[in-house]
Amino acid sequence: MMEEEVSRCQIQEWYPRFKSTSIKTIIHNLPESFIHYLLDDSGPLLLPLSISNDDPLPNRIHKPEEQQDYTISSDESDNELEQTPPPSFPELESQINESIKTLGGAIFPKLNWSSPKDAAWISPNGSLKCSSFNEIVLLLKSSDSLVHDLCHAYDSCVNCNITRPAKFFLALRKWYPSFNPAMEFRCFVHNRMLVGISQREVTGFYPNLVEKKHDIETVIKNFYMNNVSMKFESESYTFDVYVKKDETVKVLDFNPWCAFTLPLLFAWEELELEGQNGEFEFRIVENRTGVWPGLKTAVPYDYLDTSEGSGWDQFLKNADNELRRQTGLADVL
């Protein structure tokens, strides 16, 4: 994989070209001091001192009597903790809070490539929904998956001399309460040919997808041909879309082919073969026995380590073997 293929998938790179067919987003350039703050894990988790009186998190996190609820335990004494000056980013906070208002009062955050999905559990509402600067910071600071963006985005590239982008960005994406995860799909493009589509939420069975599968396939294929194929420069990549009730399609994200991108209901070898043979397949969870077992955890499927030899890799292989065994028995019966 080449450096430019990874770089093209940064939201600040692709969003301006796909703005009309994506969800409303405002992108902010992050100062290097804020990046250093995100990467600093040497002490307790302290949120920035807020300039706003409307944000409940700063007051709670900096009250000594409540600090234990919002800090990572350390060996420092209470006296040392009280002497730790809280970080502050007043200009950035002001800009972001203004953008949140512009976007209707609620957003979900994303860095250059990734959202802090693995940290949703720590949010007051248990999701990525944020209505203030410090709610965003709490998610970013608590996320392990964002370390990829900050430190390892180019690890899969050949002949690459960089380890991180020159600048980092924070994308504020409008929050839609009616968003239905069943209607999100990952599309796989190999040598500029759409070779596969996978249900994005693989931990659930949605009967309406079975009924609408053909129609969904048609609208996504049309969307790719009319809105994506000639506008995205890479030869091979993936993109995520959301299909609305009126069959309008919105592009949500772009990711590199292979690398750190999960193939979901496919294997990369299958997708490569389909690309070579000029084939296409649309996969969804067809019944309850096809649901990926054991993935209803605090960590989203996208951020599990499923690499060869990992614990989850072996678990998923065992689960797949068991599913095949049960399916075989059902066919016999």
Confidence class of residue 1 from pLDDT cuts 50, 70 and 90?
Answer: confident
* pLDDT value at 70 more than 50: no
Instruction: Please report the sign of the dihedral spanned by the C-alpha atoms of residue 220, residue 225, residue 226, residue 229.
Output: positive
pLDDT in tens, 82-137: 566 778 999 999 999 999 999 999 999 999 999 999 999 999 889 999 999 999 99
209's torsion region: left (phi>0), alpha (psi -120 to 50) or beta?
Answer: alpha
Q: How far is CA 180 from CA 118, 203, 208, 290, in A?
A: 19, 14, 12, 20
* pLDDT value at 152 more than 50: yes
% the chain with pLDDT above 90: 65
Mean pLDDT of 226-250: 97
* pLDDT value at 274 more than 80: yes
pLDDT in tens, 239-263: 999 999 999 999 999 999 997 899 9
Instruction: List the structure tokens of 322.
Output: 């068991």
pLDDT in tens, 109-119: 999 999 999 99
* pLDDT value at 326 more than 50: no
**pLDDT given for residue 41 in this prediction:** 85
Cβ atoms < 10 Å from Cβ of 176: 15
**pLDDT given for residue 159 in this prediction:** 83
Confidence class of residue 294 from pLDDT cuts 50, 70 and 90?
Answer: very low
* pLDDT value at 319 more than 60: no
**pLDDT given for residue 66 in this prediction:** 42
For 270, phi and psi rounded to 5 degrees?
A: -65, -45
**pLDDT given for residue 5 in this prediction:** 95
Residue 196 DSSP class: E
CB of 146 closer than 8 Å to CB of 116: yes
**pLDDT given for residue 71 in this prediction:** 46
Mean pLDDT of 144-167: 90
Mean pLDDT of the chain: 84
d(CA 13, CA 302): 22
Residues 6+ apart with CB under 8 A from 159: 2, 3
**pLDDT given for residue 303 in this prediction:** 44
CB of 127 closer than 8 Å to CB of 106: no
